[in-house]
């Protein structure tokens, strides 16, 4: 019987609360569907077999809420999480909406705005720990510039470093076992240029921190493709060095505004290889979708979008299993793979003769391989 592609909690599917709370507003037009509260979003996601949610602290607790109101919301959230069997796995902050962040938060010129931003993250870590999250993800949406004369990017990096060292010390001091920090790179939007624009930049930056082990990367497909890069390659590299602390799955046409399309809605082949790299590695993290339903749809369309993201992932996962057991694919890959002898000493290497004509004749049947992958994805090969 064909797989019904029904998600299970063990698939570890996750959505940002903000994804389903999105009302369809864009820079040119107003909301096209009614608002949904963060609490309601928790219940609705849990009902749809979603394993966990990610949040900006402000998605649940409005900034400036009195302690009693905050605690009441947390109690209600926990009740709903238990009732709908859904966890919270990652928290961040909304450091982009309020006009105070118009020129950044952690990297603002104003030391008081920087302090306020760090305060928000400290409070978010407290909230996350209460809800059970083990990650605080920093997406520095406004940490950038349009006017290069106004900002020294190196100074921005120093301010980022001060903030991450501070937050790492805070987590250590609170003895939050297993709690980690991450950075989600994005090249632009809402700023003309955002600092730490790709995973490569983030990896370089993490190596300069006081506690590099505590900090990792959350790559997002759309952000990688906005930079015109290959999300499969970027995620594979982050995974290889043990820094894949999370992932944001969605769809995006390259080099455009942040489209945040449903996972798989663009470039199925690249999405397939992203699923393949994390499934083959048995990566233990959550498969998080960070996208929006088209602004043309109503509330029901939002739930269609949620089901669609998970269904496409499960179909691609099945295709990964098919790729891994396909005799044609495996035959070609087997032909390509070779045992690597140890590298000779520099002295022996310098003396070694290579038959370049013979080496150049190695068969690399990539046309056949790629066509086979294409046909597996198109459902022709069964
Ligand atoms: C923005 C984006 C954010 C972060 C969380 O492009 O991806 O939603 O994932 O702040
Ligand atoms: Mn994201």
Q: Please tell me the residue having the least CA distance from ligand 1 atom 10.
A: 139
pLDDT score of 241: 97
Beta-bridge partner residues of 288 = 14, 248
Handedness of CA 259, 262, 265, 266 (dihedral sign): positive
- In whole angstroms, give the CA distance from residue 263 to residue 74: 30
Number of Cα atoms under 13 Å in the Cβ half of residue 233: 7
Give me the DSSP letters along 88-143.
EEEEE---SSSGGGTT-STT-S-HHHHHHHHHHHHHHHHHHHHHT--EEEE--TTS
Q: Is residue 299 pLDDT above 50, yes or no? A: yes
Three-state SS string over 40-65 comes to: HHHHHHHHCCCCEEEEEHHHHCCCCC
Q: What integer pLDDT is reported at residue 382 of this predicted model?
A: 86
- Measuring CA to CA, which residue among 286, 255, 231, 228 is closest to residue 11? 286
Residue 131: both structure tokens together: 């809800």
From 90, 121, 196, 290, give the residue whose CB has the most ligand 1 atoms within 8 Å, as the site to mutate: 290
In the structure encoding, which two tokens stand for residue 144, read together? 């950038």
Quote the ligand 2 centre to 218 CA distance (angstroms).
8
Whether the pLDDT of residue 2 is over 60: the answer is no
Partners of 77 in beta bridges: none
Whether 59 is a known active-site residue: answer yes
Residues 246 and 285: their CA atoms lie apart, in Å, by 6
The tens digit of pLDDT for each residue in 145-166 reads 999 999 999 999 999 999 999 9
56 is an active site residue: yes
Ligand 1, atom 8, residue with closest C-alpha = 290
Q: Are 194 and 204 in contact (CB under 8 A)?
A: no
Say which residues have a Cβ less than 8 Å from residue 143's Cβ, sequence separation at least 6.
95, 104, 105, 106, 107, 156, 160, 191, 194, 195, 196
pLDDT digits (tens, 9 = 90+) for 11-57: 999 999 999 999 999 999 999 999 999 999 999 999 999 999 999 99
Residue-level pLDDT at 93: 98
User: Does 236 score more than 90 pLDDT?
Assistant: yes
Distance 177 CA to ligand 1 centre (A): 25
Ligand 1: centre distance to CA 139 (Å): 6
Considering only CA atoms, which residue is closest to atom 7 of ligand 1?
Answer: 290
User: What does the pLDDT read at residue 1?
Assistant: 44
- CATH 3.20.20.150-classified regions of the chain: 9-324
Q: What is the whole-number distance in angstroms between the Cα of residue 195 and the centre of ligand 2?
A: 15
Alpha-carbon span 208 to 210, nearest angstrom: 7
Between CA 252 and CA 315 the distance in angstroms is: 19
Model confidence band, residue 3 (pLDDT cutoffs 50, 70, 90):
confident
Q: What confidence tier does 248 reach under pLDDT thresholds 50, 70, 90?
A: very high
Residue 126 tokens, joined:
């407290």
100-135 pLDDT, tens per residue? 999 999 999 999 999 999 999 999 999 999 999 999
Alpha helix segments (H runs only) across the chain: 17-21, 38-47, 57-60, 67-84, 111-131, 153-173, 199-206, 221-226, 231-240, 268-280, 299-325, 327-336, 346-351, 356-360, 366-378
Please report, for residues 95, 96, 210, 379, the alpha-carbon distance to residue 142 in angstroms, rounded to integers and kept in the order given: 7, 6, 24, 43
Instruction: Tell me the best of 92, 133, 246, 261 to mutate to test the pocket of ligand 1, counting ligand atoms within 8 Å of each CB and taking the most.
Output: 92
Take atom 3 of ligand 1 and give the residue whose Cα is closest.
Answer: 139
What does the DSSP 8-state code read for residue 357?
H
Tell me 26's DSSP state: B
Q: What is the CATH number of domain 9-324?
A: 3.20.20.150
Residue 337: is its pLDDT beyond 60?
Answer: yes
Structure tokens at 24: 């369809």
pLDDT greater than 60 at residue 69:
yes
């Amino acid at each position: 019987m064909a797989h019904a592609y029904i998600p299970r909690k063990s698939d570890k599917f996750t959505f940002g609360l903000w994804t389903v709370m999105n009302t369809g507003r864009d820079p040119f037009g107003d909301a096209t569907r009614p608002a949904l509260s963060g609490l309601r979003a928790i219940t609705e996601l849990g009902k749809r077999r979603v394993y966990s949610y990610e949040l900006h602290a402000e998605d649940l607790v409005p900034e400036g809420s009195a302690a009693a109101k905050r605690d009441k919301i947390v109690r209600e959230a926990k009740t709903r999480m238990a009732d709908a069997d859904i966890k919270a796995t990652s928290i961040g902050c909304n450091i982009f909406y309020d006009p105070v962040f118009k020129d950044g938060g952690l990297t603002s010129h104003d030391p008081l705005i920087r302090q306020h931003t760090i305060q928000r993250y400290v409070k978010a870590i407290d909230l996350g720990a209460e809800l059970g999250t083990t990650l605080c993800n920093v997406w520095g949406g406004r940490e950038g510039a349009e006017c290069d004369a106004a900002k020294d990017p190196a100074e921005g990096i120093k301010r980022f470093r001060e903030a991450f060292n501070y937050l790492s010390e805070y987590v250590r001091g609170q003895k939050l076992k297993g709690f980690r920090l991450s950075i989600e790179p994005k090249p632009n939007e809402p700023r003309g240029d955002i600092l730490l624009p790709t995973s490569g930049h983030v990896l370089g930056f993490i190596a300069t921190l006081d506690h590099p082990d505590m900090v990792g990367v959350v790559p997002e497909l759309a952000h990688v493709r906005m930079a015109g890069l290959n999300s499969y390659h970027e995620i594979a590299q982050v995974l290889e060095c043990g820094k894949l602390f999370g992932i944001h799955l969605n769809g995006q046409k390259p080099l455009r505004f942040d489209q945040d399309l449903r996972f798989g809605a663009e470039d199925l082949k690249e999405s397939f290889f992203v699923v393949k790299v994390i499934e083959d590695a048995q990566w233990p993290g959550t498969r998080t979708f960070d996208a929006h339903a088209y602004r043309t749809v109503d509330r029901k369309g939002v739930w269609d979008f949620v089901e669609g993201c998970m269904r496409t992932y499960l179909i691609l996962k099945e295709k990964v299993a098919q790729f891994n057991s396909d005799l044609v694919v495996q035959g070609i890959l087997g032909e390509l793979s070779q045992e690597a002898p140890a590298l000779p000493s520099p002295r022996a290497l310098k003396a070694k003769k290579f038959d370049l004509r013979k080496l150049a004749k190695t068969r690399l049947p990539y046309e056949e391989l790629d066509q086979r992958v294409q046909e597996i994805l198109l459902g022709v090969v069964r």
